[in-house]
Amino acid sequence: MEQINANHSWGGNFKARTVKDITEPAKSIFNKVSVQTALDEMQARAIESSPVIDQRGELLGTVSKNKMNREVGGLGHDPKAEPVEAHIEKNNPYCFNDQTVADAEQMMLNAKIGEVLVVTREKLLVGTINIEGLHRRKDGENAWNL
């Protein structure tokens, strides 16, 4: 996992809101389940990838349906016996829930991604934020008055 450093070249137009103010909950998969269980959960949620956490709730990385299907099914392994833990992608960008929204936006722009996982300083998964949510206040107005 990597925490992307922000470029702090922001002007005074940005409010000092924190990421936790705009974080959406994220469904996750436990690291000890089988690949088949993970694929079934992802199918039921109609998602292509999912964060993976341990029993404590610490973010370990993400898994994707495509990668697991290629690596497990493509090699003839039994998805019911294969642990999902062996297929976790660990180099995912994330931000901390106490960072400013401006920092999170800069991180996402630098990494050219539209969504990022949010964790506590102890790396416990909190949820996700996306680029559209960065510019929306709770009342639907533009957060930056642009």
Q: How far is residue 74's CA from residue 9's CA, in Å, rounded to a whole number?
A: 47
Q: What is the mean pLDDT of residues 89-102?
A: 93
Q: CA nearest 99: which of 81, 126, 64, 60?
A: 126
Say if residues 46 and 134 touch (Cβ distance below 8 Å): no
Q: CA nearest 101: which of 32, 14, 27, 43?
A: 14
pLDDT-derived band at 145 (thresholds 50, 70, 90) equals: very low
State the pTM of this model: 0.79
**Start-to-end Cα distance in the chain:** 33
Tens digits of per-residue pLDDT, 26-53? 999 999 999 999 999 999 999 999 999 9
Q: CA nearest 104: which of 1, 2, 11, 7?
A: 7
pLDDT of 1: 54
